[in-house]
Amino acid sequence: MVELRLNKPTDPARLQLQQLKSGLNKEPAMADVQKKLQTLTDEFQKLQTELEGLIEARQKLEAQQQENKGVQGEFAALDEDANIYKLVGPVLLKQDKSEATMAVNGRLEFIEKEIKRIEGQIKETEEKSDKQRAEIVQFQTQIQQQAAAASASS
């Protein structure tokens, strides 16, 4: 009895390399390359969308910050005994100047902390995005080199 042994590579990367070398199954290999490139591009697009959302949130906070700084400036120009009213729902409620000033200062502190937190997220997302962009460019270069090598050997 003759035993027939097939030498099958079990590592998928080695199998793909063997297929590329032998010239067999070129279409699926190209499909895998396209799929990987599409995945990288989708991830990059997701990061860009996230970045846009973060920038929009920062802009809203900066607008709130400017508005509160304007209120802070108005309070500084008022006399200590001036009447200050706060809109609560449909009602205007009288408020102490010191109480109103503390509330505005507290809001400004909160807004500044939020801006710093979001700027950190923006920086982190930009770094991820740059890394992803570099990976896409490197992958595209690799594909072009492989295509050039394949056409040169044909």
Which of 66, 99, 72 is CA-nearest to residue 85?
99
pLDDT at 27: 47
Sequence-distant (6+) residues with CB within 8 A of 119 are 58
The whole-number pLDDT of residue 29 equals 66
Domain annotation covers residue 89:
yes
Residue 2 pLDDT:
44
Residue 18: its pLDDT value, please? 54
Residue 25 covered by a domain: no
User: What is the separation of C-alpha 147 from the centre of its chain, rounded to a whole number of angstroms?
Assistant: 32
% of the chain with per-residue pLDDT over 90: 64
pLDDT on residue 30? 67
pTM over 0.75: no
Pairwise CA distance, residues 94 & 134, whole Å: 58
| Residues linked to residue 95 through DSSP beta bridges, in sequence order | 84
Residue for token digits 């209120």? Answer: 71
List of residues 6+ apart from 47 with CB closer than 8 A: 125, 128, 129, 132
148 found inside a domain: no
Strand partners, 87: 92
With respect to residue 112, please indicate whether it lies within any of the assigned structural domains. yes
Residue 19 in domain: no
Domain holding 128: CATH number? 1.10.287.370
Does a structural domain hold residue 21?
A: no
Question: Residues near 105 by Cβ (< 8 Å), separated by ≥ 6?
Answer: 72
pLDDT of residue 16: 52
The verdict on residue 20 lying in a domain is no
Is residue 29 assigned to a domain? no
- pLDDT tens, 108-145? 999 999 999 999 999 999 999 999 999 999 988 888 88
| Cα distance between residue 72 and residue 63, in whole Å | 14
What is the extent of the structural domain holding 107?
A: 41-137
Total domains, the chain: 1
Closest CA to 105 of 78, 77, 58, 65: 65
d(CA 37, CA 14): 20
